A and B are shown apart, each in its own frame.
Chain A
Amino acid sequence: MDIFSNLAMGFGVAFTLQNIFLCFLGCMIGTLVGVLPGVGPVATIAMLLPITFGLDPTGALIMLAGIYYGAQYGGSTTAILVNIPGEATAVVTVLDGHQMAKQGRAGVALGISAIGSFFAGCVATLFIAAMGAPLTKFAQLFGPAEYFSLMVMGLVFSTVLARGSILKALLMVFLGLLLATVGTDLETGQERVTLGIQQLSDGIDFAPLAMGIFGFAEIIRNLEEPEARDVVRGKIGKLLPSLAEIRQSFPSILRGTAIGGILGILPGNGAVLGPFASYAVEKKIAKDPSRFGKGAIEGVAGPESANNAGAQTAFIPLLTLGIPPNAVMALMVGAMTIHGIIPGPQVMTKNPELFWGMIASMWIGNAMLVIINLPLVGMWVKLLKVPYRLMFPAILIFCAIGIYSINNSVEDVYFTAFFALVGYIMIKLGYEPAPMLLGFVLGKLMEEKLRQALILSRGSFTTFVERPVSGTLLAVALIMLVIAFLPAMNKKREQAFQE
């Protein structure tokens, strides 16, 4: 197999001084964002995009990827120590992790989550390396119809996985698609819904939209509902779990890795589901399910592994098909395009150093995160004590400078303010912004593929059903949607999210 020679080349790229430093920097910033509740990876990456302009594309992506999976690690630190999830994916870790912390086993909880995450990260890295080539070949069989159907499936997944009402999530997807139509038409060059504003002729920029909705609207919501921070006061205790504890949690780590890894590949942000699914599985097969919620180590080990595995396999659709499965990956697309790389199956053949270098850096990053997270826990705890009244103005100024610097444009700052207002209204109306953002991200590509497919089929929609791959994808999407709308399932889904 030439995976290993490829990986060796990747390590050659990743092990340069510059790239190691960038990987470290990314992991560090990522952990920081992950630890701080209320600052998400989406807003951070949007904010730091301008910083990567001066770097070579490989270095830029290594750093951005580091931020992304660093945030997953950091999120669990907050979950365990403060009883609030630092990141959305750490929601389940709160349940047993914080209980463990209250029992004086915070160190062990942090330790097992780092070990589980590291293990999951290693497996996921190998998995991406192994799956990359075959999937890329498979992707080359994809015509416009298949691309379109795959994206439809991704969007349907994102609605089923969103919290709250499915109808509302579905409508958010449509809103995202609608916003994506703003700008110059691909084929005729005609301006659409631009109101004559020059900046809009290239379409709505992703960064102001994402930063408005995920950065500023969130700040306002956090100010509105101040959270009680219940930082664990006692000692963190020893970090290394005992042999018995490792033996106890190892099967959970294995299962979590498998569950998270597989769900992560799904377009439509399947990675979010991983920790929930893993927790449910662990609880179900445990001999004594009543221990869960009271500090069961399996309830930390499984979901944390699932979380990290999923975060990493989420790169697969991006690297092989060029389809971003979530908002962070959409920013990666942005970063790649800025550097003149078009994401998709051709990346692997045209830019092998980038592809394999990034995969190798993921492994390095995972190893670094164990080092960053465990000994530095004390520092993160101190950071958590910074009051929000100081934190949010700092976020504000960073975001303002970041958004201005992307295009040196004051207008982008105003657009961000506008989208922040819209985002806040959406929060008030009970809309989940994630499906909207995914719809927006996929909108342009979907329109292009839809039009191409219909030209090829001479205007007949049956092409999407008749082609076997495309038909299957659509069928899966339809089944998911029908199941989700069934009243019985709907209740179960709500329960699953409340747990």
Chain B
Amino acid sequence: MDATFKVQRYDPESQEGSHYEEFEVDLPEYGSVLEGLLDIRDHQDGSLSLRCSCRSAICGSCSMKINGESRLACKAMVSDIKETEGDIITVEPMGNMPVIKDLVVNMDMFWEKVEKIEPYLQPTGPEPEKEYLVSNDEMMKLAVAMNCIMCGACVSDCTVLEVDKTFLGPAALAKAFRFAADPRDGAQEERLESYNEPTGVWDCTRCFMCVQACPKDVAPMERIMDIRSMVVENEIDKKGRGQRHIQGFIDGVKHSGRLDEFGLARKTFGFPIWAFELADLGIRRILRLRLPPIIHKSIKSAKNVKKIFENLGV
């Protein structure tokens, strides 16, 4: 099977900036994008740099953007892509992280966020002599989040991280769920309190990009929603952020037909946190020209949206 790869190249040691190069490869019937890239590296241009190891979607090394979407190169089958997305396969490094060379990015920011959620079991009370007795169901509920191989695809495609580097992000929060929901953990309350802070679970805009990007069906956004539920159910959310966030979301869309980001942040975190703690985010957004409009305009069919809400009794 022939395929054309259009690969983003960048070598900090050369004068040439970031650019694209095209390669023709011949692959076996079920060849992956990774096999295509290895063929290029092995037989055409050994200077192509990428991270890879297991070839079976378990080590998490080979995340990259393939036709604009973050995926594992070893799991992206060339024949599938050709069938549904066209003949040319464009390969670029992950987003939201600085490029070191070609398809290799610096993941420091990713690991720092994972470390921030205190990613280790913190049992309290006397340790059992053997194992903790827990039900299989309780363990398997965590296994969904344990599927995470920390490949970075969700962080690469996260639309919040694009504008707000302080957000803990989908990978770290999916891991946070794994500990907060572990019956053996003794720090659940402290964990939920910290994930409830600004930069935590309420910063997710539910854009679904991480769910789509995740190659292991962890569905990070759903894990973030799980934590939100735990925050509300455990009455951690004494400042009522969760409830206000949900109400703010509804009010905004009901009123104008679209999300009022300014209003949402103001309602979720309340005054003065909204004004002070989020001020630097606002400034960064202004600098990157990504500030939501201060004057919130309604969409044309806002009236119809309002009717939908009224019919639903919301």
Bound pair: A and B? no
B residues apposed to A, CB below 8 Å: none
